[in-house]
Amino acid sequence: MSTPFYVSPQQAMADRAEYARKGIARGRSVVVLQYTDGVLFVAENPSRALHKVSEIYDRIAFAAVGKYNEFENLRIGGVRYADLRGYTYDREDVTARGLANVYAQTLGTIFSSAAEKPYEVELIVAEVGNGPEDDQIYRLPHDGSIVDEHGSVAVGGNADQISSYLDQRHRDGMSLAEALRLAVESLSRDTNGAERTLTAEHLEVAVLDRTRPQKRKFKRILGRQLSRLLDEQTAEDKAEGGPGQDAGEAAEAGTAGGTTGPEAAAEGGKEGGKDSGKGSGKDTSAGPEDAGTD
Partner 1 sequence: MDFLGAHVPELLPGNRPLPPVQGAVEAPHGTTIVAASFPGGVVLAGDRRATMGNVIAQRDIEKVFPADEYSAVGIAGTAGLAVEMVKLFQLELEHFEKVEGAQLSLEGKANRLSTMIRSNLGMAMQGLAVVPLFAGYDIDREKGRIFSYDVTGGRSEEHGFAATGSGSVFARSALKKLFREDFTEHQAATAVVQALYDAADDDSATGGPDMARRIYPIVTVITEEGFRKLTEAEVSEIARAVHERRLDQPDGPRAALL
Instruction: Note the residues at the interface with partner 1 (CB under 8 A).
Output: 51, 54-56, 76, 79-80, 83-84, 86-88, 216
Contact 194, 251 (CB under 8 A): yes
CA distances from 193 to 27, 188, 190, 248, 263 (A): 18, 10, 5, 13, 11
Query: Strand runs (DSSP E) across the chain, as ranges?
Result: 30-35, 38-44, 53-57, 60-66, 121-127, 136-140, 147-149, 152-155, 203-209, 218-221
User: Residue length, the chain?
Assistant: 294
For residues 148 and 100, give the distance between their C-alpha atoms in angstroms, rounded to a whole number. Answer: 10
Cβ atoms < 10 Å from Cβ of 164: 12
User: Which strands form 147-149's sheet, in the order they lie side by side?
Assistant: 53-57, 60-66, 121-127, 136-140, 147-149
Our CB check for partner 1 shows the closer of 83 and 290 to be 83
State phi, psi for 283 to the nearest 5 degrees.
-70, -20
State phi, psi for 272 to the nearest 5 degrees.
-55, -40
For residues 283 and 144, give the distance between their C-alpha atoms in angstroms, rounded to a whole number. Answer: 25
